[in-house]
A = this chain, B = another copy of it.
Amino acid sequence: MVKQAHKIASQVATLFETSPLILDSGVTLSPVQVAYETYGTLNSDKSNAIMICHALTGDQYVASTHPLTGKSGWWERIIGPNKLIDTNKYFVICSNVLGSCLGTTGPKEINPETGQIYGIDFPVITINDMVKVQVGLTDTLGIQKLFMVIGGSMGGMQALEWLVDYPDRVGSMMLLATAAQHSAQNIAFHEIGRQAVMADPEWRDGKYQEHDTFPRKGLSVARMTAHVTYLSEDGLMDKFGRNLQDRDAPTYGFEADFQIESYLRHQGSSFVDRFDANSYLYITRAMDYFDIAARYEGKLADAFKKASDVPCLVITFTSDWLYPPEENKRIAHALNAAGVPVSYASITSDRGHDSFLLDIPEMDKMMTGFIQSAEARLMKDQRDDG
């Protein structure tokens, strides 16, 4: 097959104009803008759509150039013509989540009711609310059933909401490095990040846009903290060790003597150039509230009971201590207990949580096999229907 150029479309849909989006908090939003990218072409029977759900600080630019950073898409390795997710075959959709800051309705946008920037008056949202918007987008595109939903990390949480609340609208599902609930430690790290942002006087009680300021230092500390949780101790030791940065001896000062310090400072400062501080607060809060079994009296398997027709692949990485293998295994066990066909792979990696974003051949192999099975199943279903 000849390698083709991507067919990429950047779009914004306006949803919930006639009937409002009712958030889990009870607050309503109307209308809701959703910014999204699509790759490839939707086929005539609309059976080839794959929804990619992005992570906390991810965005819709999964396989296209980020407009602020100029960097290539965050999963461009995976998605494209003749790639693992082949956009010659599939119509890939990735939308910026509700509450984020790349074009979808969120705290940095104008509140249509007041004409003012939402800021901290934006209502607190949940992962479930994000998915309601994705379902709305899918409706708008006329897609009754997605071929597949794929998500890693917070993307996996969205995928789980699809599975629990919209099982008849998903053909199959790929969950990577995710969790069915935020643990106390997960909440703790997010709370530290939020406190760091809010401690910055430039945050101005969330009204920094009005004051033309930005809590750069606070958001940077938040990002540094989160970033450490995305990596593993062994991975950090392999990559940076105790190596000094551009010097032969320690300076006996507070400069970034060590490479790890320099790296973290860079992670912090580059993040604040591309992400909104209030969005960071809202999305971390949504994740903290995430506990998909809570609506089922804490019984995770009960949450999945309607999903027995949706084969799932659960991939976890041995050194992920943010959403550790035990948590991913717990999801796989609950799926299995609910009668959902589930494949589970614990992949050896020393790269921590972020492994799902990296080039890991064993992951590719699992994903490729799973997509092929899903294709075969779809073709069989179509033959049976025909």
Contacts and interface: CB of A to CB of B under 8 A. Distances in A.
A268 B265 CA distance: 23
A259 B355 CA distance: 31
A250 B257 CA distance: 43
A324 to B, nearest CB: 8
A233 interface: yes
Copies of this protein in the complex = 2
Contacts of A191: 224, 256, 258, 260-261, 264-265
Contact of A252 (B124, B181, B281): B124
B194 A196 contact: no
A240 B184 CA distance: 7
A285 interface: yes
Given A191-B261, A264-B192, A289-B250, A185 B242 contact: no
A242 B195 CA distance: 19
Contact of A200 (B192, B199, B321): B199
A195 B237 contact: no
A281 B253 CA distance: 10
Given A124-B253, A254-B281, A285-B254, A228 B291 contact: no
A29 interface: no
Interface range for A: 35 or more
A217 interface: yes
Nearest to A291: B242
Contacts of A189: 228
Contacts of A112: none
Nearest to A239: B184
A54 interface: no
A182 interface: yes
Interface of A: 24-25, 27, 123-124, 181-185, 187-189, 191-192, 194-196, 198-201, 217-218, 220-221, 224-225, 228, 231, 233, 236-237, 239-242, 250, 252-254, 256-258, 260-261, 264-265, 268, 281, 285, 288-289, 291, 321, 324
Given A184-B260, A252-B289, 7 more contacts: A27-B252, A185-B236, A188-B264, A189-B228, A191-B260, A195-B224, A258-B288
